[in-house]
Amino acid sequence: MSASYAAVGWNKQKKIYDWLIACLCFIYLLLFISVTLIINEQATFETLLIRSTSTLAVLLLHIILAIGPLCRLNKKFLPLLYNRRHLGVTMFTFALVHGSFSLFQFHALSNTNPIISLFTSNTNFGSLAAFPFQVLGLFALIIFFLMAITSHDFWLHNLSPKVWKTLHMFVYLAYILVVMHVMLGVIQYENDPVFVIMIFAGAITLVILHLLAGSKERKLDNMKFALQREGFVYVCPVAEIEDSRAKIFYIDKERIAVYRHNNKLYAIHNVCKHQGGPLGEGKILDGCITCPWHGYQYLPHNGQSPPPFKEKVSTYDVKIIDGKVWLNPAPFAEGTERPGAEIK
Amino acid sequence: MIFVTIILIIVALYLLAGLVFAIPFMIKGVTVIDEGAHGSSWGFRIIIIPGVMVFWPFLLNKWLYASKMKRS
Amino acid sequence: MMRSLRKRHLQIWSAWALLLPAGITLAWLAIPYQQPVKLLQTPAQELLPAIIQTKEHDDYTLNIRSDHSHTVWQLEWKNKTTLNYPSAVIYKTTVHNNDPEKAELVGRIEARGDYIFELSPVPHNQAGLKFILYDFIHEAVIDTFIFKNPFRGPE
């Protein structure tokens, strides 16, 4: 949005979200430390810290990576997406604590610089069992660091949404690095297969969720519209579009959302200017189309964000003939006012 | 070992240069390249410092370009 | 999301659907073959009953141990404080040698804890026995300890 930036964009919902994150983390750490101390009384403070923060970070990473596809499969999960970046920064913080203490514990006791020691104390890159797994963790941490420091909207705006999204897609690379960091690291010293099963279950769950969500989206992208007349294509009967909601159509390589508001139909480009959220999956709140991802708003008749915000999306012509909705996929310039189509 | 040391020194120098750049950028540059930063809090300016240290050449370029556009 | 991004997501996760299980399985299969610690440090064993010789240091204690019939031998290493060298190994050699390359590797010790290493015999005519504590990353001798040759038998 283009109003003045604040350090952290808190509102009531985000505060509730953040409190929940804090409670979740606190309960997890408490449980982990208590159980470890019961099983192993000899555990040192450093070991407790290194292990509890690392497992919590891995757990949070799985939750974060599941939120996207879950939301695409079921709208009920959308509240989780709303403040996902705070969950991400929290995950990075725990990963950083784990990384720093591990570096201190395993590499800071000699007169070599700890980071140099991290790279040079084990160079068995050709071996699986003795692979320098700590290096994998460091690279994942660097990716999480770059994501965390650019998680403010200032960066989204200034690096451009495309660059920003690409940078943040490196999380998938970081995920595979984390999985291998765990598999080639701590699991090499464990005889119990339960840890392998847990990591495997986590990875498979994420793969299945992402593939399911992806194939669902593909179906939408492969929609065929047979009827065409004077540049308009027939998309659906009027009755299929609920009030204050939209249906999304994929025509000529663009997704268009047709919204019903105050007994009229309006069509706008489906992609939110903020992070590319699916506007057609949101609803009309206070007379504005509201993005389901982060609540960015647009007016249905002209695709403009209400002042003081300045985002604009393309608009389209829509008409109703005999209770059937016809849509013209030729876009108007972003923010162009269109009359909409009256439902009689 | 020498290779790793050299890389680390380069990274450290790069980040240090970013930190130096961050000072004038916080005061002036940020409002030149992004109108959303007008009237923004100091909390916001501090929270973007780590990012400025990493992406400073890009921001410097953007700043120079924005001032040039303003003049012409 | 833009179509290109959606496509990229699907491509990445299709690749990950193969890579993740493959990586996890490979790493899991590698576990039984992984013995770096065991190679350097003999598996946990019973302490032999008799202390034949001992050396005290502020940071560690060394004991040469044996059974009553003097047929098997051990070096017992006890860290008293946290050792400031994460990459320390012990070599066994003759009294005048300081070069680990010409010495026999006994085992590796970590910053904390007690360690037992089996000692292979040395010739009876060797004057004494020296242990070198060596930092293999910095290639520096940390400490040396000279014992009488216990394999000469009781004097």
What is the domain partition of chain C in residue ranges? 3-34, 38-152
Top-confidence range, A202-211, A238-247, A317-326, B41-50? A202-211
Question: The CATH number of C38-152 is which of 3.30.1050, 2.60.40, 2.40.10, 3.10.280?
Answer: 2.60.40
CA dihedral C18, C23, C24, C26 (to 10 degrees): 120
State which residue of chain A sits closest to B50, comparing Cα positions.
A149
Q: What per-residue string of b and e applies to A48-79 under the rule 16 or more CB within 10 Å gives b?
A: bbbbbbbbbbbbbbbebbbbbbbbbeeeeebe
Residue B28 maps to a domain? no
* Residue B14 located in a structural domain: yes
**pLDDT tens digits, one per residue of B17-52:** 999 999 999 988 898 888 888 888 888 999 999 999
Chains that contact C by 3+ CB pairs under 8 Å?
A
A180, pLDDT greater than 70: yes
**Mean pLDDT, chain A, as a whole number?**
88
Closest Cβ opposite residue A110 in set C13, C26, C138: C138
State whether A161 and A58 are in the same domain: yes
What's the confidence (pLDDT) of residue C153? 61
Contacts of A149 in chain B (CB under 8 A): 48, 50-51, 54
Does residue B62 belong to any structural domain of this protein? yes
Which spans in chain A are helix H?
Answer: 12-39, 45-73, 78-82, 84-107, 114-120, 133-149, 153-159, 161-169, 171-184, 194-221
Q: Structural domain of residue B14, as residue ranges?
A: 1-19+41-72
A304/A164 same-domain check? no
Collect all residues of chain C within an 8 Å Cβ-Cβ radius of residue A58: none
How many domains, chain B? 1
* Cβ contact, residue pair A5, B37, below 8 Å: yes
pLDDT at A259 over 80: yes
* Structural domain contains residue A6: no
* Percentage, residues of chain A above pLDDT 90: 42
Residue B31 lies in a domain: no
Comparing CA positions, the residue from A140, A299, A327 lying closest to residue A228 is A327
A-facing residues of B in 12-71 (CB < 8 A) are 33-41, 43-44, 46-48, 50-51, 54-55, 58-59, 62
**Where is the domain boundary, A220, A245, A271?**
A220
Same domain (yes/no): A147, A238: no
- Asked if residue B36 is part of any domain, the answer here is no
Nearest one of A317, A320, A339 to A236, comparing CA atoms: A320
Which of the pair, C122 or A132, is modelled with greater confidence? A132
Q: Are residues A211 and A250 in the same domain?
A: no
Q: For residue B4, is it within any domain? A: yes
A2, closest residue in chain B (CA to CA): B36
**Mean pLDDT comparison of A1-5, A47-51, B56-60, C146-150, highest-scoring range:** B56-60
Domain co-membership, A213 together with A235: no
Query: Do A155 and A208 fall into the same domain?
Result: yes
Length of chain B: 72
Q: Are residues A153 and A263 in the same domain?
A: no
Contact yes or no for C5 and A207 at CB 8 A:
no
Residues A83 and A110 in one domain: yes
Shortest Cα distance, chain B CAs vs residue A253, angstroms: 32
Same domain, A241 and A297: yes
Return mean pLDDT, chain B.
Answer: 91
Asked if the structure places residue A199 within a domain, the reply is yes
For residues A55 and A90, state if they share a domain.
yes
Q: Which residues contact C46 (CB under 8 A, 6 or more apart)?
A: none
pLDDT digit string (tens) for C49-102? 888 899 998 889 999 998 888 888 899 998 888 777 777 899 999 888 888 888
Asked if residue B47 belongs to a domain, the reply is yes
- ∠ CA A294-A298-A301 to the nearest 5 degrees? 155
Q: Spell out which residues of chain A touch residue B40, defining contact as CB-CB under 8 Å.
A: 4-6
Percent of chain A with pLDDT over 70: 99
* The pLDDT of residue A286: 87
Is there a contact between C27 and A180 if contact means CB atoms under 8 Å apart?
A: yes
Q: How many domains does chain A divide into?
A: 2
Nearest CA distance, A138 vs chain B (angstrom): 13
Q: Are A184 and A192 in contact (CB under 8 A)?
A: no
> CB distance from A158 to chain B under 8 Å?
yes
List pLDDT tens digits, range A181-208: 999 888 877 767 888 999 999 999 999 9
Report the alpha-carbon distance of residue A93 to residue A247 in Å, rounded. Answer: 40
Q: What are phi and psi of B11, to 5 degrees?
A: -60, -45
| Confidence at residue A2, expressed as pLDDT on a 0 to 100 scale | 46
Q: Residues A185, A289: one domain?
A: no
Instruction: Show the domain range for A104.
Output: 12-220
Whole-number Å distance between alpha carbons of A62 and A57 = 9
Residues A173 and A256 in one domain: no
pLDDT at residue number A60: 97
What's the confidence (pLDDT) of residue A108? 79
Q: A106: distance to nearest CA of chain C, Å? A: 7
Report the run of H or E that residue B47 belongs to, with start and end.
Answer: helix B42-47
Subunit contact A110:C10, Cβ cutoff 8 A: no
What average pLDDT is seen over chain C? Answer: 82
In 3D space, the residue among C75, C149, C63 whose CA is nearest the CA of residue C105 turns out to be: C75
Averaged pLDDT, A62-88: 90
